[in-house]
Amino acid sequence: FFLCLGVTLLTRPNVCGSKIEGAGPKGEENMNVAVVTLVTTSSYVPGAEVLAESLQRVNAIGDRVLLYVPPEEDDRSDITVQHLRDLELAGWNKLQPLTTENGKFSKCKGAELVANVEELSTMARYWGTCSKLALWSLVEYDKVIYIDADSIVLNNFDHLYDIIQQSKGINFAAQQSPNCPA
């Protein structure tokens, strides 16, 4: 299990117990892999559409999974049915709502706590960041690459799935965002 390109690197054994036929990295044609992003508000929709287009242009393998927070779950989300249709048309073939009911939505209390602290008030926009924890619920995939919705892919990165296979001993690695205070 692998999250990369802006967030985290994680590996875990396949808990599903079976391989799913389909495209996979070099030498692993039966691996079930995915590229995942998260959209919490409509302001991330255009970026996610561009990300999907860039994934298609570099012929990246794997399902295109878009996690999103419905407005019924959090009133800060303004994602509409039309946004979801547009995201599907852009190439996101698996749209998964993150809700409390399905156990995939995690409220980020930290964003609310810092909203009133002047030096940290800009961090309130990260209210949906904890929703990235839902990546752990994607147990139907052997390997996952997470890319932030405001990113663009310039080159094929399928070789990263091979790196995941070679780094089975790594449990967790992360990099602090350059915009966050230490």
Domains belonging to the chain, first-starting first, are: 8-174 (3.90.550.10)
CA–CA separation, 68 vs 149, rounded Å? 11
- Residue 96: Cβ within 10 Å count: 17
Q: Which residues, in sequence order, are bridge partners of residue 35?
A: 64, 145
Q: Give 64-90 pLDDT, tens digit per residue.
A: 999 999 999 888 899 999 999 999 999
Residue-level pLDDT at 62: 95
Residue-level pLDDT at 28: 52
Q: Which residue has the higher pLDDT, 3 or 91?
A: 91
**pLDDT tier, 179 (very low <50, low <70, confident <90, very high otherwise):** low
- Two tokens at 110? 């930290």
Q: How many CA atoms lie within 13 A of 53 on its CB side?
A: 10
Residue-level pLDDT at 156: 94
**Which parts of 121-176 are beta strand (E)?**
143-146, 172-174
Q: Which residue type occupies 57? A: R
User: Does residue 182 surpass a pLDDT of 70?
Assistant: no
CA–CA separation, 76 vs 83, rounded Å? 15
Beta carbons within 8 Å of 146's beta carbon, 6+ residues apart: 3, 4, 5, 6, 7, 8, 35, 36, 37, 38, 132, 135
Residue-level pLDDT at 166: 67
User: Does residue 172 surpass a pLDDT of 60?
Assistant: no
